Amino acid sequence: MIIVLRPGASREQIDEVITEIRTLGYEPSPIIGVAQTVVAAIGDERTQHTLESLNVLPQVERVIRVQKRYKLASRESHPEDTVIDVAGVPVGGPGFTLMAGPCSVESAEQLFATADAVKAAGATILRGGAYKPRTSPYEFQGLGKEGLRLLREARDRTGLRIITEVLSERDVEHVAETADILQIGARNAQNFQLLIECARSGKPVLLKRGLSERIEEWLLASEYLLAHGNPNVMLCERGIRTFETYTRNTLDLGAVAIAKRESHLPVIVDPSQGCGRADLVIALCAGAVAMGADGLLIEVHPNPAEAWSDGQQQVTFEGFRRLVETIRPFLAAAGRQPAA
Ligand code: PEP
Ligand code: MN
């Protein structure tokens, strides 16, 4: 860290800062200028006590952090792309992963028909919420354990791997019995106790970006999973809340490029929550591929007009087929092929 002192700080005041830096476990290296003094404090600021408390001293003008706050998630600590083994299906690396399925599991017919359709189009992972985080308590909350049972049956029928959301610490153990990937939703993106519990489960985790979460906070949330012993973490950009009203959220494609640069973790894009409009999903998928995304999470429904949740943003079976065809040249240009 760099501690910038106010102009005119006395020798005693400089010495006080140097002593304090040592007490906090860093090695001070002062540069005493004619007008102003700065002190470099040498140590690993990602794991050591922060020196921001030095701001309380009247002779300190500013404390500047030099290192990133996330360590295990950073590309510096792990230059190679992480490839996650999802029950035999790789996520990350040279391939490209299509995860698709309904917003909510509604019935056996709905789920199995969707599973067959997305598999035929090239998806390898089936999404479907059994526990739904709905804005209103009067809206459909998901089928719960029955939904999980249907997801297991869909996996047995098709061989697709399963991604499904876990809403609370209480549910981690039994959701992990069904899920090949635990989905942490945007509303739980910084529920650190839930993250720790998911880390302990040992299952791969897809961590959505929070509704108004900064990229640094998103990466620090992933750091919770990594620091608690789970290396199998995927980041998921799903749009953030902005002033814009033409879309439900603003899909932040710039964040995808940044996450790929800053971190070695696979980055998945969810354009369905990202824009909330079925008619924009394909265009955003092409953008996601161009930004370096490692996969997509797409909502697909046999009849979106009758969906029990998020009907406006779910694509039909035909829409999903068209989506996969449309992104093919973009994938080739990016040097990637769908895993299937
Ligand atoms: C979902 O995937 O259906 C969902 C609720 O996502 P998010 O947490 O991104 O809103
Ligand atoms: Mn949804």
* Residue 234: closest CA among 281, 168, 192, 181: 181
Ligand 1: residue whose CA is nearest its atom 9:
186
Q: What is the full per-residue pLDDT of the chain (340 aa) written as tens digits?
A: 999 999 999 999 999 999 999 999 999 999 999 999 999 999 998 888 889 999 999 999 999 999 899 999 999 999 999 999 999 999 999 999 999 999 999 999 999 999 999 999 999 999 999 999 999 999 999 999 999 999 999 999 999 999 999 999 999 999 999 999 999 999 999 999 999 999 999 999 999 999 999 999 999 999 999 999 999 999 999 999 999 999 999 999 999 999 999 999 999 999 999 999 999 999 999 999 999 999 999 999 999 999 999 999 999 999 999 999 999 999 999 999 775 5
Question: Domain check: are 151 and 206 in the same one?
Answer: yes
CATH assignment at residue 36 = 3.30.70.1140
**71 inside domain:** no
Is ligand 1 within 6 A of the CB of residue 191?
A: no
The whole model's pTM is what?
Answer: 0.95
Is ligand 1 within 6 A of the CB of residue 208?
A: yes
Question: Domain check: are 59 and 89 in the same one?
Answer: no
β strands within 48-139, DSSP E? 60-64, 84-86, 89-91, 95-101, 125-127
C-alpha to C-alpha distances, 198 to 17, 84, 176, 216, nearest whole angstrom: 42, 16, 9, 20
Ligand 1: residue whose CA is nearest its atom 4:
185
Question: Domain check: are 54 and 145 in the same one?
Answer: no
Domain count of the chain?
A: 2
Question: Domain check: are 182 and 296 in the same one?
Answer: yes
Question: Domain check: are 42 and 125 in the same one?
Answer: no
Ligand 1: residue whose CA is nearest its atom 8:
185
Pick the ligand that lies closest to the CA of residue 238.
1
**96 inside domain:** yes
Is ligand 1 within 6 A of the CB of residue 129?
A: yes
Pick the ligand that lies closest to the CA of residue 307.
2
CA of 87 from ligand 1 middle (Å) equals 23
In contact, 92 and 83? CB cutoff 8 Å: yes
Q: Which atom of ligand 1 is nearest to the CA of 184?
A: 8
Domain residues for the domain of 108 are 84-338
Question: Domain check: are 108 and 55 in the same one?
Answer: no
Question: Domain check: are 111 and 205 in the same one?
Answer: yes
